Amino acid sequence: MKSHVILFTCCALMGCGAESGTDADSEMPTGTEDVASAAQPLSLLELLTDRCSGAVAISDVGTGESILMFRNIPGDPLQPFSAPPISISKRRLTWFCFDSKTSISGARTEEHSTCPSGTHHISARLGPSRLLNIRCLT
């Protein structure tokens, strides 16, 4: 079983390209800054952007790996990407946006995002203004 602050195996939870630099519209980092810091060099295929005001759970039933992220930092700053990236078995991701910022219990909304062909790993982060970034990696 893998363990990390925000990465763990949890099938029961779900019922088992961007340019480098900053985004000119928001002056926010694009997500290409630290891809090479993974154990194996991974290439960014696409940076997905979505919105969720609460906690987020992304799980891949095929690999059993999950990412959990909470909005429990004062001021809701841009958080670092989850590390290490998790392996995924399908390009279409199912993720859940929870009503609570600090818990994965209670009401939730099921959402879907699709990474491009060639995606085998993802990492994610939360940021201000309900930001959710998902990096689709080789």
Q: What is the pLDDT of residues 56-91, one digit of tens each?
A: 999 998 999 999 999 988 888 999 999 999 999 999
| Residue-averaged pLDDT of the chain | 79
Q: What is the pLDDT of residues 94-112, one digit of tens each?
A: 999 999 999 998 999 999 9
Is the model's pLDDT at 138 over the cut of 90? Answer: yes
Tell me how crowded residue 21 is: count the other CB atoms within 10 A of its CB.
Answer: 10
pTM of the predicted model as reported, rounded to 2 decimal places: 0.73
Strand arrangement of the beta sheet that strand 44-51 belongs to: 44-51, 131-137, 121-126, 86-87
Stated length of the chain:
138
Q: What is the pLDDT of residues 43-52, one digit of tens each?
A: 999 999 999 9
